[in-house]
């Protein structure tokens, strides 16, 4: 008899939906059906029970081929190389549960290395802005239950976060928002006419890279200097700016959702900084919150876990071993790789092979490279060692943090392929092995 498992978390985007229904086969090994999930989510579950899952670590041979080795050998090899390296880097964590991220912190503290997550190439600028200006935010249920004005700025949930609008923001009927979309005003600020812009009440087609100016214009209006605006700012007409600012001021509860359109265009962290300032201004006349549209289902996790462990969310330098240091630009993965400072690389739960600039990859490739990932990807294919692990949310559970910092408890739905370890177990074994080697004086 197939079994239905409900309340399953989707290990794909930052919405971290927890209402997926999965039907699994009698023997608990196959996924027969996945419901409530959008198309991208389905793929992950399908992959989980595919027959081509890698079940053993694979070590590159002198002739370039990959040969299966035992987990024990892989753990020993990784531990020894970590201890030998002066500045090893572990990077990734886009699809790792928090238990794995905590174990990774332990590994890199013992190794005395660098530890970083994908924020370094996506929402790192948001962290910089938060360091300077704070973060007036809320949980997504507040938006659902209260918000009457929604702003999507430089983000396109219709593609990147497919159920964001239906579960949390525009469409749901909440406690004070019983009329759903009818009573909400949706403002999209984007140079492109996206599918999200298509459902908006207002689309401000801003000139690419001029976000900071438009934020400034809104701040002027909110602070009472609307008359001083020029006829057009960042490609948007004064009348339209005044009209939209008026809507913002009169909101009962408003939220700004911002995405990589802001963190990756001119201005970067300054865009986020001024977005926060605008939110602060708006709180003098109304109630407003702001939220980063974090990409992956647990990419918020490492920032949370490492903040309680070390006090910094990313770009961690643990080489001193008795205290941590963070200085994005100096201690950020891509910058270090571009300067060829890293002498061992562990790619975990992401694909640096695909996402890093080619010169950075070339530098990293000169040194031992380990990929810890359930699947074959570009990183695994250029690795010296590929260690397969369980897929969080499919064959291992654990805690993940949704984009609004709400912890969601993910469930395991099928048994992992025989012998495959989860990230936490694997990493703790690597840490234990390093401690053993150190105690024996072999490092």
Residues making contact with other proteins (CB under 8 A): 6-7, 9, 18-19, 98, 102, 106, 109, 127, 130-142, 144-146, 167-168, 174-176, 252-253, 280, 283, 286-287, 289, 303-305, 307-313, 318, 320-324, 326, 397, 399, 401, 405-409
Interface with ligand SF4 includes 293 (CB under 6 A)?
Answer: no
Instruction: Please report how close the Cβ of residue 12 comes to ligand SF4 at its closest, in angstroms.
Output: 4
Asked if 365 contacts 382 with a C-beta cutoff of 8 angstroms, the reply is yes
How many angstroms separate the CA atoms of 424 and 101, rounded? 8
Quick one: which H or E segment has residue 125?
A: helix 124-133
Question: Looking at residue 227, what DSSP letter applies?
Answer: G
For residue 369, list its beta bridge partners. 345
Interface with ligand SF4 includes 17 (CB under 6 A)?
Answer: yes
Among the listed residues 10, 103, 342, 421, the single contact to ligand SF4 using CB under 6 A: 10
Asked if 133 contacts 342 with a C-beta cutoff of 8 angstroms, the reply is no
Instruction: Please report how close the Cβ of residue 181 comes to other proteins at its closest, in angstroms.
Output: 17
Instruction: Please report how close the Cβ of residue 14 comes to ligand SF4 at its closest, in angstroms.
Output: 7
How many angstroms separate the CA atoms of 166 and 56, rounded? 40
Interface with ligand SF4 includes 299 (CB under 6 A)?
Answer: no
How many angstroms separate the CA atoms of 92 and 386, rounded? 14
Binding mask 122-141 for ligand SF4 (x = CB under 6 A): --------------------
From the list 195, 134, 423, the residue with the least C-alpha distance to 298 is 423
Interface with ligand SF4 includes 410 (CB under 6 A)?
Answer: no
Stretch that binds ligand SF4, among 81-89, 156-164, 191-199, 234-242 (CB under 6 A): 156-164
Asked if 217 contacts 241 with a C-beta cutoff of 8 angstroms, the reply is yes
For residue 409, list its beta bridge partners. 399
Interface with ligand SF4 includes 393 (CB under 6 A)?
Answer: no
How many angstroms separate the CA atoms of 340 and 327, rounded? 17
Neighbours of 76 (CB within 10 A): 18
Nearer to other proteins, 71 or 135 (CB): 135
Instruction: Please report how close the Cβ of residue 98 comes to ligand SF4 at its closest, in angstroms.
Output: 17
Among the listed residues 88, 92, 124, 162, the single contact to ligand SF4 using CB under 6 A: 162
With CB under 5 to 8 Å by kind, the binding choice for 12 among other proteins, ligand SF4, none is ligand SF4
Residue 105 token pair: 């912190």
Nearer to other proteins, 41 or 388 (CB): 41
Interface with ligand SF4 includes 37 (CB under 6 A)?
Answer: yes
Stretch that binds ligand SF4, among 123-131, 155-163, 234-242, 424-432 (CB under 6 A): 155-163
Interface with ligand SF4 includes 45 (CB under 6 A)?
Answer: no
If binding means CB under 6 A, how many residues of this protein chain bind ligand SF4? 14
Stretch that binds ligand SF4, among 13-21, 267-275, 311-319, 351-359 (CB under 6 A): 13-21
Instruction: Please report how close the Cβ of residue 282 comes to other proteins at its closest, in angstroms.
Output: 10
With CB under 5 to 8 Å by kind, the binding choice for 252 among ligand SF4, other proteins, none is other proteins
Interface with ligand SF4 includes 40 (CB under 6 A)?
Answer: yes
Interface with ligand SF4 includes 187 (CB under 6 A)?
Answer: no
The torsion region of residue 6 among left (phi > 0), alpha (psi -120 to 50) and beta comes to beta
Stretch that binds ligand SF4, among 158-166, 278-286, 341-349, 379-387 (CB under 6 A): 158-166
Grouping H, G, I as helix, E, B as strand and the rest as coil, residue 68 is strand
From the list 96, 107, 28, 176, the residue with the least C-alpha distance to 393 is 96
Asked if 130 contacts 328 with a C-beta cutoff of 8 angstroms, the reply is no
Residue 94 token pair: 């886009």
Burial class (CB in 10 A: 0-12, 13-18, 19+), 352: buried
Asked if 144 contacts 257 with a C-beta cutoff of 8 angstroms, the reply is no
Residues of this chain that bind ligand SF4 (CB under 6 A): 10, 12-13, 15-17, 37-38, 40-41, 161-163, 297
């Amino acid at each position: 008899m197939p079994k239905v498992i409900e309340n399953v978390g989707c290990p794909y985007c930052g919405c971290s939906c927890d209402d997926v229904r999965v039907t699994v086969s009698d023997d608990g090994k196959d996924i027969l059906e996945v419901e409530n999930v959008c198309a991208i989510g389905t793929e992950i579950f399908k992959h989980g029970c595919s027959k081509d899952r890698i079940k053993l670590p694979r070590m590159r041979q002198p002739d370039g081929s990959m040969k299966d080795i035992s987990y024990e050998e892989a753990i020993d090899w990784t531990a020894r190389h970590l201890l030998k390296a002066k500045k090893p880097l572990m990077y990734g964590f886009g699809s790792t549960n928090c238990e794995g991220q905590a174990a990774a912190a332990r590994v890199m503290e013992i190794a005395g290395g660098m530890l970083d997550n994908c924020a370094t190439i996506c929402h790192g600028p948001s962290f910089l802005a938060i360091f300077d200006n704070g973060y007036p935010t809320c949980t997504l249920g507040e938006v659902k239950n209260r918000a009457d004005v929604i702003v999507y700025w430089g983000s396109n949930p219709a593609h990147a976060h497919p159920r964001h609008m239906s579960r949390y923001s525009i469409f749901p009927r909440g406690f004070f928002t019983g009329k759903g979309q009818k009573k909400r005003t949706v403002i999209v600020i984007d140079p492109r006419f996206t599918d999200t812009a298509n459902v908006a009440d207002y689309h401000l087609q801003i000139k690419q890279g001029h976000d900071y100016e438009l934020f400034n214009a809104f701040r002027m209006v909110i602070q009472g200097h609307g008359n001083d605006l020029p006829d057009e700012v960042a490609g948007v007409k004064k009348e339209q700016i005044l009209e939209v600012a008026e809507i913002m001021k009169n909101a009962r509860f408003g939220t700004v959702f911002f995405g990589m359109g802001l963190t990756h265009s001119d201005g970067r962290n300054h865009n986020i900084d001024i977005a926060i300032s605008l939110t602060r201004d708006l709180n003098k006349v109304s109630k407003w919150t702001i939220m980063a549209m974090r990409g992956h289902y647990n990419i918020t996790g490492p920032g949370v876990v490492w903040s309680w462990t070390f006090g910094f969310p990313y770009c961690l330098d643990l080489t001193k071993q008795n205290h941590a240091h963070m200085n994005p630009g100096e201690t950020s993965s891509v910058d270090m790789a571009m300067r060829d400072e890293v002498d061992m690389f562990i790619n975990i739960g992401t694909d640096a092979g695909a996402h890093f600039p080619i010169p950075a990859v070339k530098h990293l490739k000169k040194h031992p490279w380990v990929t810890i990932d359930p699947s074959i990807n570009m990183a695994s294919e250029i690795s010296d060692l590929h260690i397969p692990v369980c897929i969080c949310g499919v064959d291992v559970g654990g805690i993940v943090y949704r984009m609004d910092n709400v912890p969601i408890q993910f469930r395991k739905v099928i048994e992992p392929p025989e012998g495959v370890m989860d990230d936490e177990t694997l990493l703790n074994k690597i840490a234990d092995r390093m401690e053993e080697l150190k105690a024996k004086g072999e490092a």
